[in-house]
Amino acid sequence: MATPVTAQPREQAGPVRRFADLLYRKPTLYLSLLLIPPLLWFGVIYLGSLLGLLWQSFYTFDDFSMTVTPTLTLDNLRALFQPANFDIILRTLSMAVAVSVASALLAFPIAFYMALHTSGRTKAFFYIAVMLPMWASYIVKAYAWTLLLAQGGVAQWFIDQLGLRFLLESLLAIPGVGGSTLSTSHLGRFLVFVYIWLPFMILPIQAALERLPRSLLQASADLGARPAQTLRLVILPLAIPGIAAGSIFTFCLTLGDFIVPLLVGPPGFFIGNMVYAQQGSIGNLPMAAAFTLVPIVLVALYLSVVKRLGAFDAL
C-alpha cells in the first residue's frame, strides 16, 4: 500500500526566490528583462546616432562661411556623383571587392584543413596562429608593412634573391595596380588589406565547415563522386554561408578603413579618408554624412545580391 502523497507545507520564500519563481512562470517577462538593456543601447546610442548623422547629410554647408545650416537639400548626395568624389567611391569599392575575393580564395584551403583534417592540439595551434595577429594593434601592423614593402625592404630583398625583380617591375608598371614602389602601389595596399582581414574570413568559413557532418562527405563518395565533385557539389555550397559572412567582414572593413590607405599605397582618398577630412579639417559634416551613406548602401546591395544567390538558404 503506497502512502498518499501530501503537499509539503510551502516554506516562506524570500523576495529573490519569489522573483525567480515569477520569472519561471512568465517566460516573456524574463526574455524582455534580458533584452531591454541591449535593445535600448542598440536602438538609442547606436542606431539613433547613426540616423542623426545620416539626417545631417541633407543639411546645407555654406562653402563661403564654412557653416552648417539645417536647411534640407539633396546637393550633398548629388555631389557624390561628381567625378572627383565618384572616383573615391570606385577606388574604395574595387579594393573592397578585390580584397574580399582574394581573402576568400586564400582562406578557404586553410579553413578546410582546419575544419576537416585537424583535431586537438593541431586545431588549437591553428586557431592561435589565425588569431594571434589580431592581438597586435592594427596600426602597428600597417606601419610594419610599410617597412616590409618599402624600397630596399624585406619584400624586395626576397624578390631580388629569387631573381624576380623583372616580374615585380612589370607588375608595378601596370596602371591601376602598380605604383613607383611596392609600398606606394595599389598592389601593396591590397596585400596589406588581405593580410589584416584574412582572419575575419578564415574563422566564419571554418565554422561553416565544422558544422558539416562527415557523413555527408562519405555519402557523396559512396554515391560515386570523386573528391573534386564532392568539393564542388557538397562542400562549397554548404560553405557559402561562411564565405558570405566572412566576405561581409572583409568587404565592410575595407570600405570603412582609412588607416591602411593613409599609410600604404599611392596618394588618393578612400571613403574613410574623405569622411575624416570632411568632418575633421573642413568641418563639412553634411558631406561627411553623405559619404557615410555610401558604404551602408553598398553593403545593403551586396547583402541582397548574396541573399538572392541563396547563400543563406542552408542556414
Partner 1 sequence: MSVAVQFTEVSRLYGQVRAVDQLTLDIRDGEFFSLLGPSGSGKTTCLRLIAGFEQPSSGSIRIQGVEAAGLPPYRRDVNTVFQDYALFPHMKVLDNVAYGLKVKGVAKAERLARAREALSLVALDGFAERRPSQLSGGQRQRVALARALVNRPRVLLLDEPLGALDLKLREQMQGELKKLQRQLGITFVFVTHDQGEALSMSDRVAVFNQGRLEQLDTPRNLYLQPATPFVAEFVGTSNVIRGELARQLCGSTQPFSIRPEHARLAGSEPASAEELQISGQLQDIQYLGAATRFELRLDNGQNFTVSQPNTHWSLDAPPVLPGQRVSARWPRAAMVPLREAP
Q: State which residue, 120 or 213, has the beta carbon closest to partner 1.
A: 213
Q: Which is nearer to partner 1, 205 or 259 (CB)?
A: 205
- Cβ proximity to partner 1, 87 vs 313, nearer residue: 313
Residue 110 CB, nearest distance to partner 1 (Å)? 23
How near is the Cβ of 212 to partner 1 at its closest, in Å? 10
Q: Is the CB of residue 286 less than 8 Å from the CB of residue 61?
A: yes
Which of 192, 182, 304 lies closest to 254, judged by CA? 192
Closest distance to partner 1 from the beta carbon of 249 (Å): 23
Is 265:185 a contact under the CB 8 Å cutoff? Answer: yes
Q: Which of 14, 91, 53 is nearest to 266 (CA)?
A: 91
Which SS3 state, helix, strand or coil, does residue 61 take? strand
Q: How far is the CB of 209 from partner 1 (least distance, A)?
A: 14
- State the minimum distance, in angstroms, from the CB of residue 313 to partner 1: 7
Percent helix, strand and coil across the chain, each rounded to 5?
75, 0, 25
Q: Which long-range contacts (CB under 8 A, 24 or more apart) does 65-70 make?
A: 66/282, 66/283, 66/284, 68/283, 68/284, 68/285, 68/286
Query: Is the distance from CB of 172 to CB of 178 less than 8 angstroms?
Result: yes
Instruction: Output the CA angle 232-238-242, nearest 5 degrees.
Output: 115
* Run of H or E including 264: none
Nearer to partner 1, 105 or 216 (CB): 216
Which C-beta is closer to partner 1: that of 172 or that of 239? 239
The residues of the shown chain that bind partner 1, judged by CB under 8 A, are: 213, 215-216, 218-226, 229, 233-234, 237-238, 313-314
Query: Cα–Cα distance between 70 and 54 in angstroms, integer?
Result: 13
Q: Which residues of 163-199 are buried (b: 16+ CB within 10 A; e: fewer)?
A: eeeeebeeebeeeeebbebbbbbbbbbbbbbbbbbbb
Distance, CA of 37 to CA of 41 (rounded, Å): 6
Nearer to partner 1, 78 or 232 (CB): 232
Q: Name which of 245 and 271 has its Cβ closer to partner 1.
A: 245
62 or 313: whose CB is closer to partner 1? 313
Q: How far is the CB of 290 from partner 1 (least distance, A)?
A: 40
C-alpha cell at 250: 572583409
Write down the least CB distance from residue 232 to partner 1, Å.
10
Instruction: Give min distance, CB of 269 to partner 1, in A.
Output: 42
